[in-house]
């Protein structure tokens, strides 16, 4: 099972169809997976959700990077 922190952010494509952008943490990196071949369009509340997801993911990635650095210093 994949235990990486993951956030799903609802949005719409350019044709106003519902879709999802995925934000996940891969070690010390933040990955954003958009709808394949689409453009994601966010409302102001969806942008707020994306911002919160990115902030949380960046924090998780920083903790991972810090833990790795501490392990290398031992």
Q: How many CB atoms lie within 10 A of CB 24?
A: 19
Dist CA 27 CA 45 (whole Å): 28
Dist CA 21 CA 53 (whole Å): 11
Dist CA 59 CA 63 (whole Å): 6
pLDDT tens for each residue of the chain, 74 residues long: 578 889 999 999 889 999 999 999 888 888 999 988 788 889 999 999 999 999 999 999 888 767 666 665 55
The helix/strand/coil state of 19 is strand
Q: Is the pTM of this model over 0.75?
A: no
Phi-psi region of 37 (alpha: psi -120 to 50; beta: other; left: phi over 0): left
């Amino acid at each position: 099972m994949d235990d990486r922190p993951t956030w799903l952010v609802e949005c719409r494509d350019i044709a106003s169809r519902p879709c999802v952008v995925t934000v996940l943490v891969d070690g010390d990196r933040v990955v954003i997976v958009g709808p394949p071949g689409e453009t994601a369009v966010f409302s102001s509340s969806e942008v707020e959700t994306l911002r919160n997801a990115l902030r949380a993911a960046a924090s998780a990635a920083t903790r991972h990077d810090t833990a790795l650095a501490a392990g290398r210093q031992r």
